[in-house]
Structure 1
Amino acid sequence: MKTEWQELRIAGAFLTRFPVARGVEAPPERLGRSMAFFPAVGLILGLGLVVLNWALGAFLPRAVLDCLLILLLIAATGALHLDGMADLVDGLAGGKDREGILRIMKDSRVGAMGVIGLVMVLLLKYLSLYNLPEGYKAAALLFMPCAGRWIQVVLASFCRYIRPEGGTGGAFVDHAGEREFLIGTATLLLAALVLFGLKGIFLVFLIGLAAMVLLRFFEARLGGVTGDVLGAATEVVEVLTLLLMLAVLGA
């Protein structure tokens, strides 16, 4: 259990701005193994949102509160995934081949398409959360970050890292595999079942189909993944999860 606890701390330190892994050694192999707990970190982030929603709900209108919750999630994660989203959109929009896409993605500047991508992701996330029935809001706040971090486990477990010069994401992708996928998926399924009952299993099935589409797309377009791809996939799946909840849960 000590090893798993340390791997959870490593996952938390990488996915958030909180220094929860001080004193824990994190060689590449352990970084990869920590991906098994990425969905669990998502649940912890979601729990924080639920507490804030409860604490502030009596003082703020829902429209303002939902916007604030999304902002707080961005702050807690250091906008890590949004940065990947902007880079990926710019790369796909401007690159004619894999080398061109990767070159644009590495540029620290954000282009017009990247800005549009960020705006649309945030707008869709906000509107979807705002239009969920109040009775499902707490469950959505818990499940959305969990599903968003699960897709990282899927892509890292079944794709290769494609930057030859290496990068932070490479240590995770190169050492994630079947164990990480199984533990992460079990976490997602259990959360869905507890939060939504049998409808949650159908929800996970639909998210799984979307994960297969993303995996095939990145393999065909790029030949694998980078850290930016993993971050962008998180944003896409978070939005998709909220949209699916609106449809599946009869909102």
Structure 2
Amino acid sequence: MQKEWRYFLLALGFFTRIPVPDFANFQESDLNHSTKYFPLIGIIVGFLSAAFFYAASFVFPHVIAVLISMAATIYLTGAFHEDGLADSADGIGGGWEREQILTIMQDSRLGTYGAVALFLMLIAKFQTLSHLNPILIPLALIAGHALSRLWGVLLMATLTYTKPAGKAKPLATQLSMQHLAVATAFGLLPLISILGLLIVSNHSQLIIIKFILLALLPSFIIWLWWRAKLMKNLGGYTGDTLGAAQQLTELAFYMGVLAWSMHL
């Protein structure tokens, strides 16, 4: 249990700005053992994002509360995943060969492709969440952050790390089935809880089936598309592309929930 607590705190410190203790005898390989907790970190980030939305909605219109929630999330994570999205867009958008793409992605400067991708992502998230029923927004935030990080873990499980070194290199060893099972449980837990609420609320089976399809299918399709793109352009994944996967699948989930809510 002490080791697992250590691995959880490592994941928390790696992906958020939440203070964690300094660890003696830290090994980069320890981060590999923390992989199974990435969706749990998503639950925590989503819960705090939902809390900011809920608190702000008492003072401001819910569209402003959405903006405050997004800003809080970006601050909490240090724009870690947004940076990955921008770097991935610059590299894949501006490069032709694998080495050229990787070189562009390592450049700290923001290019046109990255700027456009980041702008469109933030606008799309804001618009999608703003059009959701305010009651659904906290649930969508928690589930979206957890599920999108699970998709990142599944990328790591099905692809190989494509760089000799990098910020995701310590995470790049093969994931065990036990780690995958734990990550999947945390990634799907908020969705299962939402389904439980729908069942308790006596919603029809059709509504529940539509939710399962519309909540999961868009993010799964985006994950398949992004995985295929990484295989074609890089032959594997990098830390930046994991961040991009999180952003893309999170947005796809919100859009799926919005589509579901419009057909109730």
TM-score between both structures, scaled by the size of structure 1: 0.92
Contact 1:35 1:153 in 2 (8 A): yes
Aligned pair in 2 of structure 1 residues 21, 207: CA closer, same or farther (>3 Å)?
farther
Aligned to 1:185: 184
Structure 1: gaps spanning 5 or more residues: none
Distance 1:146 1:25 in 2: 30
Distance 1:24 1:13 in 2: 15
Distance 1:130 1:201 in 2: 22
Task: Describe how 1:64-213 pairs up with structure 2 within 5 A.
Answer: 64-164=64-164, 166-197=165-196, 198-199=208-209, 201-202=212-213, 203-213=215-225
Rg bigger for which structure?
A: 2
Question: Segments of 4+ in structure 1 off by > 6 A?
Answer: none
* CA RMSD in angstroms, aligned pairs only: 1.8
Contact 1:6 1:24 in 2 (8 A): no
Contact 2:149 2:187 in 1 (8 A): no
Task: Describe how 1:214-225 pairs up with structure 2 within 5 A.
Answer: 214-225=226-237
Aligned to 1:242: 254
Does residue 231 of structure 1 match 2:230?
no
Deviation at 1:137, TM superposition (A): 1.1
Does residue 22 of structure 1 match 2:22?
yes
Aligned pair in 2 of structure 1 residues 205, 190: CA closer, same or farther (>3 Å)?
farther
Name the SS for the 2:168 alignment partner: helix
Q: Report the more deviating stretch, 224-233 or 1-10.
A: 1-10
Aligned pair in 2 of structure 1 residues 206, 111: CA closer, same or farther (>3 Å)?
closer
Distance 2:146 2:21 in 1: 20
TM-score between both structures, scaled by the size of structure 2: 0.88
Provide Cα deviations, 1:14-69, integer angstroms capped at 9, x if missing partner.
11011224236542332112110111111111111222222221111112111111
Aligned pair in 2 of structure 1 residues 26, 180: CA closer, same or farther (>3 Å)?
farther
Distance 1:25 1:159 in 2: 29
Q: May I ask how many residue pairs the two structures share in their alignment?
A: 250
Contact 1:153 1:180 in 2 (8 A): no
Provide Cα deviations, 1:127-148, integer angstroms capped at 9, x if missing partner.
0110111221110121121122
Contact 1:91 1:105 in 2 (8 A): yes
Aligned-pair identity (%): 30
Distance 1:25 1:61 in 2: 49
Distance 1:248 1:26 in 2: 45
Contact 1:162 1:224 in 2 (8 A): yes
Distance 2:154 2:225 in 1: 12
Structure 2: gaps spanning 5 or more residues: 197-207
User: Counterpart amino acid of 1:127?
Assistant: Q
Deviation at 1:205, TM superposition (A): 4.9
Contact 1:6 1:21 in 2 (8 A): no
